[in-house]
Amino acid sequence: MRKFENDVMAAFGYAHSATAQSLESQHFYPCRDISMFVPYFQNRIMNKSRLEAFSDGVFAIIITIMVLELKVPEGTSWDTMKHLLPVFGSYIMSFVFIAIYWMNHHHIMHTLKKVNGGILWANMHLLFWLSLIPFATGWMGENNFERVTVALYGALLILSGLAYTILSSAICKTYTEHTKLSTAIAKGNVKGVWSIILYSASIPLALFIHPALAAVLIVAVSVMWIIPSKDIERALED
């Protein structure tokens, strides 16, 4: 037990130091009184690096799952290949969609100065909906962009967009003062709301008019987000 306590002291830089000798003379045992280490743990626990690493891992897994859904055709004729076109088309849509989310998520994380429970759960909420993209992608591609599949895809985009807006708003609330960064984040939230509204229009388009029109609308909304916020970049440079 004593050896373990010495290892803890060494890990925090107290071994073989005046502080260690002082603590020793006072019969201080770090395993029994760790209050002095609380600030150290607080600074590490609320660091955003683990949040970013976990999110990047989930994004990578989502893309991996989607590409694994692409089956190798049994033949080289056009008749064999043409059946893969809807599958490949849905994969391209979703790959671009995930790439856009990753780039914007990367940008918004640079504005994050501290992490709290609300931000952690908001981020998990976003990753939950994004993790369903491979399912919706495969279903839509395998069924040749049928109405219901495109409508479900649109609904998933709505929920993902809403989750991203919630995460962005949670980050914005951490700013106690009005800054260029908070203004840039708020401006992005307005674009997020408009995206949700337009995504919502894709559902009735797919169900009652034509799924191709819904797909075009979905792509058009995604184009709005291809280039991450320049306002955030300028605010970070300042």
Residue 213 sits in the same domain as residue 143:
yes
pLDDT tens, position by position, 5-64: 455 445 445 444 444 444 445 444 444 444 454 454 444 446 788 889 999 999 999 999
Comparing CA positions, the residue from 210, 193, 66 lying closest to residue 141 is 66
Q: Are residues 81 and 106 in the same domain?
A: yes
Task: Examine the domain organization and report whether 67 and 153 are in the same domain.
Answer: yes
Residues 63, 35, single domain; the answer is no
**Separation CA 207–CA 211 (nearest Å):** 7
Weakest-pLDDT range from 29-43, 54-68, 71-85, 95-109: 29-43
Give phi and psi for 77, each to the nearest 5.
Answer: -75, 160
Percentages helix, strand, coil for the chain (3-state, rounded to 5) are: 75, 0, 25
| Residue 88 and residue 192 share a domain | yes
Is the domain of 93 the same as that of 196? Answer: yes
Do residue 174 and residue 201 come from a single domain? yes
- Clarify whether residues 107 and 183 are in a common domain: yes
The values of phi and psi at residue 82, to 5°, are -65, -25
Q: 56 with 30, same domain?
A: no
Same-domain status, 33 and 95: no
| Alpha-carbon span 111 to 186, nearest angstrom | 12
CA pair distance 39, 27, nearest whole angstrom:
22
Instruction: Supply angle C-alpha 181, 100, 122, rounded to 5.
Output: 60
Domains identified in the chain, total number: 2
Confidence of residue 185 (pLDDT cuts 50, 70, 90): confident
Does 70 lie in the same domain as 186? yes
The boundaries of the domain holding residue 220 are 47-237
d(CA 217, CA 196) in angstroms, rounded, equals 12
Same domain, 35 and 114: no
What's the whole-model pTM score? 0.74
